[in-house]
């Protein structure tokens, strides 16, 4: 048995070196070559950081496009879903409350026309994007509040649609933060 202990200790120390020192150092070095140097892609307006491109934000004012709800209150340090299934009464109540709130703020929209992503949180709770349909359904409300034409807002949404790679790699999506920044620059 003694002949197995020393090789086991050596292997353990080697793996600790590789997995706890070398691998994290390599990943940190590679991240420095990525956009944002491993700190995320910040979005700046007038030399002020207003958010992160890949992290959802909480837009609650009716004059802005609302993003997906968050189960973690948009806290990137504690990302995660609610872990409640579709049959969970608490989850159903939460979704129904979100539907009711959406209908109050978007009169004239039918319950069945609301895209699911506007009333359900993503798995991370931090999804920064919406489908074009989820953005477009909010145009009427924003146009009325900001006294803008719906056509102008539809064009703005259309201009901010990120199409899938080669038309097949994922869905079309709209980054809510970038869309709202562009919305604030409209005259």
DSSP per-residue letters across 61-121: STTS------TTTT-GGG-------TT-HHHHHHHHHHHHHHHHHSTT--GGGS-GGGTS-
Assess contact for 63 and 145: CB atoms under 8 A: yes
**Judging by beta carbons within 10 Å of its beta carbon (0-12, 13-18, 19+), is residue 180 exposed, middle or buried?**
buried
Supply the mean pLDDT for the chain: 88
Distance CA 76, CA 128 (A): 11
Specify the residue for token string 């949180």: 121
Q: CB neighbours of 24 closer than 8 A, spacing ≥ 6?
A: none
41-53 pLDDT, tens digit per residue, is 778 788 888 777 7
Question: For position 62, what pLDDT does the model report?
Answer: 92
Assess contact for 162 and 173: CB atoms under 8 A: yes
Percent of the chain at pLDDT > 90 equals 55
**Judging by beta carbons within 10 Å of its beta carbon (0-12, 13-18, 19+), is residue 179 exposed, middle or buried?**
buried
Assess contact for 120 and 114: CB atoms under 8 A: no
DSSP-assigned beta bridge partners for residue 43: 51
127-146 pLDDT, tens digit per residue, is 899 999 999 999 999 999 99
């Amino acid at each position: 048995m003694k002949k197995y202990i020393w090789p086991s200790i050596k292997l353990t120390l080697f793996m600790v070196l590789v997995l706890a020192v070398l691998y994290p150092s390599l990943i940190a070095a590679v991240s420095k070559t990525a956009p944002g140097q491993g700190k995320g892609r910040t979005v700046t307006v007038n030399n002020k950081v207003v958010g992160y491109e890949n992290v959802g934000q909480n837009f609650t004012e009716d004059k802005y496009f609302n993003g997906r709800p968050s189960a973690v209150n948009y806290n990137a340090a504690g990302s995660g879903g609610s872990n409640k299934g579709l049959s969970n009464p608490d989850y159903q109540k939460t979704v129904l409350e979100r539907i009711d709130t959406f209908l109050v703020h978007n009169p004239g929209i039918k319950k069945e026309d609301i895209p699911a992503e506007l009333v359900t949180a993503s798995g991370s709770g931090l999804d920064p994007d919406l489908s074009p349909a989820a953005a477009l359904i909010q145009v009427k409300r924003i146009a009325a509040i900001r006294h803008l034409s719906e056509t102008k807002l539809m064009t703005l949404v259309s201009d901010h649609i990120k199409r899938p790679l080669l038309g097949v790699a994922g869905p079309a999506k709209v980054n809510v933060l970038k869309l709202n920044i562009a919305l604030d620059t409209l005259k």
